[in-house]
Amino acid sequence: MSNERCDIAIVGAGPAGMSAAIAAARLGASVVVLDEQRGAGGQIYRAITDAPARRVDLLGPDYAAGRSLAEAFAASGARHLTNAAVWQVTPEGAVHYLRDGATFTLQAERVVLCAGAMERPFPIPGWTLPGVFTAGAAQILLKSADVVPVEPVVLAGCGPLLYLLGWQYVRAGVPIRALVDTTSMEDYRRALPRLGGALAGWRYLKKGLSLMRALKRAGVPFHTGAENLAAEGREGQDGVAALRFTAGGKAHCIETSTLLLHHGVVPNTQFTWSLRARHTWDDAQLCWRPKADAWGALDVPGIHVAGDGLGIGGALAAARQGELAALGAMHGLGRITTGERDKLAAPLRAALREHLRIRPFLDALYRPKKANRIPADDVIVCRCEEVAAGDIRHFVALGCDGPNQAKAFGRCGMGPCQGRQCGLTVTELIADARGVTPAEVGYYRIRPPIKPISLGELAGAE
């Protein structure tokens, strides 16, 4: 129960957190990295430190790239607290966490939040049925436990992760009944001008297209421009039984007991909201971003953010942002001069620009469809309290003008997930119903503890 102190506490051991730790430790800081998992890597490099060669080969080169980063992190001298669930970060730099059933507090001079991304909610009819997972969930089963579906799966939605998972499943011998792509030719027409002349962008596009080609070569049936997605159960059965949709002017119904949904990831903003940091609505990525300066520093003094928690940029961008945040934090502590900081930052900024160059294209091409973000009345929005889109529209008609009021009107967002799964949907739904911008509607007021903690565990804290 001791009150440990350090220069820099880093929350999250994904690419941003590991890179921030390596950079700060190299400059002589005492660094503690806290992460919920049993090993470093975050979700993108999940279980990279103990993955057997066979699995690394199956998952592909982008996953394998995490190994050298994890090794550098292990050798950095930073202290890594595994299985540590951080349930509160205070503006004063106190990091409260739960580990092995006991609560601890770490007092840091600077905190770098590297909480990463989570899957964007995909509220369609039937998305709460057992057997409906996010594509990310399926990939975590593969990365962390070698577990794959038995019966033919259906992948639905859009975005690089969906196609990557399909490619990995083909290599693993997992049967894919269909890839139901919500991307239409119109999306390609809209996105292509944003590709620009950058070579990096074209390389990225080529890589994506080769994944698609591999899936088609493997005989995976493709449906493009899919709309009106709905998961269906069957009488007398608990789980999902089929996916219905329309594509090419035809209605389709494909049977499956495992439906994997994905239409992008969004920043995990639980910590930054709970710190009352300012956020802005990003209309290109359709999500909230905490307002931060060039070093990831929030308007809460001493707290930085790096990686996808700042806005989705991917693993390589996250690593550079982690290093920049470390430089900013060390400069703030007076441990490096402005000249040293800026000299070290220059190549990082150049690399970051290069990694982010593809984003406008990806954001436009895989922009999630409005119908899959702001659903019809009978679709459940808040999975925990089972509040439907129609309930929210009804609340708005009664005078509810924002997410916090939606809690009072019908417990929406008040279940155990604390709004993680419904927050973005509720913001957009209310904005749409009121005819105003999401920025005007705002977000839930997030309060600690942001992870479940029992009375017994709390009572045991100092």
Partner 1 sequence: MPTDVRFRSLVPADASPRGEPMVTLFFDGRALQAPAGCSVAAALLANGVSTFRTTPVSGAPRAPYCMMGACFDCLVEIDGQPNRQSCLVAVAEGMQVKTQAGLRSFDGAGTVIAEEAAHVE
Name the one range near partner 1 by CB under 8 A: 48-56, 176-184, 244-252, 277-285: 48-56
**Maximum distance among all Cα pairs of the chain, rounded to whole angstroms:** 69
- Based on the shown chain and the rule CB under 8 A, indicate whether residue 232 belongs to the binding site for partner 1: no
Task: Of 363, 367, 388, 312, give the one whose Cα is nearest residue 127.
Answer: 388
Total residues in contact with partner 1, by rule CB under 8 A: 64
Among 199, 227, 456, 461, binds partner 1 (CB under 8 A): 456
Task: Pick the closer one to partner 1 by CB: 297 or 453.
Answer: 453
Among 118, 292, 297, 392, binds partner 1 (CB under 8 A): 118
User: Cα–Cα distance between 270 and 405 in angstroms, integer?
Assistant: 19
Task: In angstroms, give the least distance from the CB of 86 to partner 1.
Answer: 12
Is 217 exposed, middle or buried, given 0-12, 13-18 or 19+ CB atoms closer than 10 A?
exposed
Among 19, 183, 268, 285, binds partner 1 (CB under 8 A): 268
Q: Which is nearer to partner 1, 170 or 450 (CB)?
A: 450
- Residue 194 touching partner 1 (CB under 8 A): no
The answer to whether 88 and 105 have CB atoms below 8 angstroms apart is: no
Place of tokens 């903003």: 269
- Candidate segments 187-195, 203-211, 312-320, 410-418, binder of partner 1 by CB under 8 A: 410-418
| Residues in 56-115 at the binding interface with partner 1, rule: CB under 8 A | 83, 85, 87
Report, in Å, the least distance between residue 158 CB and partner 1.
Answer: 18
Q: Is 53 in the site for partner 1 (CB under 8 A)?
A: no
Task: Find the part of the chain contacting partner 1 (CB under 8 A) among 16-24, 122-130, 157-165, 190-198.
Answer: 122-130
Residue 113: helix, strand or coil by DSSP?
A: strand
Contact region with partner 1 (CB under 8 A), list: 1-9, 67-75, 413-421, 428-436 = 413-421
**C-alpha to C-alpha distance for 7 and 110, rounded to whole angstroms:** 6
Contact residue for partner 1 among 77, 152, 415, 442 (CB under 8 A): 415
CA–CA distance, 341 with 336 (Å, rounded to integer): 6
Which of 19, 372, 418, 425 touches partner 1 by CB under 8 A? 418
Among 48, 154, 426, 453, contact with partner 1 (rule: CB under 8 A): 453
- On whether the CB atoms of residues 349 and 324 are closer than 8 A, the answer is yes
- Per the CB < 8 A criterion, the answer to whether 260 and 440 are in contact is no
Binding flag, residue 168, partner 1 (CB under 8 A): no
391: amino acid identity, one letter: D
Residue from 27, 32, 420, 427 in contact with partner 1 (CB under 8 A): 420
Q: State which of positions 328-387 bind partner 1 (CB under 8 A).
A: 383-386
Q: Least distance (Å) from partner 1 to the CB of residue 454? A: 6
Phi, psi of 141 (to 5 degrees): -60, -40
Tell me if 55 contacts partner 1 by CB under 8 A: yes
Residue indicated by tokens 């290599």: 171
Nearer to partner 1, 12 or 438 (CB): 12
Virtual torsion, Cα 324, 106, 279, 36, nearest 10 deg: 90
Instruction: Determine the residue type at 418.
Output: Q
The full DSSP string for 243-272 is: EEEEETTEEEEEE-S-EEEEE-EEE--HHH
Closest distance between partner 1 and the C-beta of residue 419, in Å? 9
What dihedral do alpha carbons 210, 213, 217, 219 form, nearest 10°?
A: 130
> Cβ of residue 133: shortest distance to partner 1, in angstroms?
6
Q: Which residues, 137 to 156, sit near partner 1 by CB under 8 A?
A: 137-138, 140-142, 144-151
Separation in Å, CA 257 to CA 137, 175, 228, 387, 389: 15, 12, 19, 25, 26
Cβ neighbourhood burial of 238 (10 Å; 0-12, 13-18, 19+)? exposed
Site string for partner 1, 427-446 (x = CB under 8 A): -------------------x
Site residues for partner 1, window 5-44 (CB under 8 A)?
Answer: 36, 38, 43
Phi-psi category of 307—alpha, beta or left, where left has phi over 0 and alpha has psi -120 to 50? left
Q: What residues contact 422, with CB distance under 8 A and at least 6 apart? A: 121, 123, 381, 382, 383, 384, 387, 412, 413
Position 458 contacts partner 1 (CB under 8 A)? yes
CB-nearer residue toward partner 1: 147 or 346: 147
Q: List residues near partner 1 by CB under 8 A.
A: 36, 38, 43, 50, 52, 55, 83, 85, 87, 118-119, 127-134, 136-138, 140-142, 144-151, 172, 238-239, 257-258, 268, 383-386, 407, 414-418, 420-421, 446-456, 458-459
